[in-house]
Amino acid sequence: MSGNPIEPSILRRMRNVSLRQLIYFDELARQSGFNRAAKSLAISQPTLSQQISQLETTLGVRLVERGNRLLRLTPEGQFLLGQAQRVLDIFGDAIETLEGRRNARELKIGIPNYMSYPATTQLLQRFRKSHPASDFFLTELSAEELSQKLNEGELDAAFLTIPTPPRLSEDLESITVWKAPYLICLSRHHPLAAKPSLSGEDLAHLEIILAPRNYHRAHYDYQMGGLHALGFTPRIVHTQVSTAQSQMALATAGVGVCLISPDTLSMSPELVLKPTEPALPDHELALFWSPANQNPLLREFCNCARRFG
């Protein structure tokens, strides 16, 4: 029939046949029973039976032998099944092709909402310059949320601090794009601000501002481990602030001190950064993605990240 006009009587019948009915009929034949097919399709058995009956009425033929515990297709049903599977295969291929074209133009990237990282901005700008026709869909989320969306394939890639949440899939690949030491951020007017470096004994007398542990458990424990390594038990300020900007605001007000890495945020002239002796661990940011992701734009972005890092 391809290339030829369809007869009006056939066209009227085609308009009354839905793609959903063909999908239902294909699954019914695959499962060999209404109960199993309805469960597989996540619909009720009466709904499935009604849709198959409507399909039979529209086509004017009986497709299924009813009354038997083991479902059997009539000869007309067998013929329609073969043709319906061809239609579904063609339509499925069309969707995959369209999806591939969309993916070739769009990249879904997750970025942390708990810290501003110039490295992410610089990398995105560099890639956009070399791929001007590409589109970015950016979303800011917590580390836990970014991990979940990466695992579920809702993001092509995401930037996460090391260590990552335990829920993050071990099958993902990663590239470190930025690393810097943690420093102690405190008010310029604090008595310790004049010291070139701070010891564990200095910090033992201060309150430490950290994001709540349930916001990013792995990183909270990582920061606490670094503080414990200085030989003291940290006194943590009980707050619900989750961003570095908020922590710095509290430090400016003299509420406590926080851990900040250089070149991550604009520093207020009211704040200073001080190293510790011994040094705190590095603050590391990496790009994560699934090797199973077929978006060609993602491969280009990862190559750009490798050159950037």
- Give the pLDDT confidence of 75-93 residue by residue, as tens digits: 998 999 999 888 888 887 7
Domain containing residue 297: 106-179+285-308
**pLDDT tens-digit profile of 257-277?**
999 998 787 888 999 999 999
Arithmetic mean of pLDDT, 136-141: 89
Arithmetic mean of pLDDT, 185-208: 94
Integer Cα distance of 196 and 261 in angstroms: 16
Instruction: Clarify whether residues 39 and 62 are in a common domain.
Output: yes
Six token digits for residue 16: 């009354």
Judged against a pLDDT cut of 60, whether residue 32 lies above it is answered with yes
Residue 1's pLDDT is what?
Answer: 43
Q: How many domains does the chain have?
A: 3
**pLDDT tens-digit profile of 45-74?**
899 999 999 999 989 999 998 766 667 899
Arithmetic mean of pLDDT, 118-123: 89
DSSP 210-239: ---GGGSHHHHHHHHHHHHTTTS--EE---
- What is the domain-level CATH number for residue 247? 3.40.190.10
Residue 265's pLDDT is what?
Answer: 78
Q: Is 2 domain-assigned?
A: no
Of 102, 132, 160, the last residue of a domain is 102
Integer Cα distance of 256 and 265 in angstroms: 18
Judged against a pLDDT cut of 70, whether residue 227 lies above it is answered with yes
pTM of the full structure: 0.63
- What is the domain-level CATH number for residue 70? 1.10.10.10
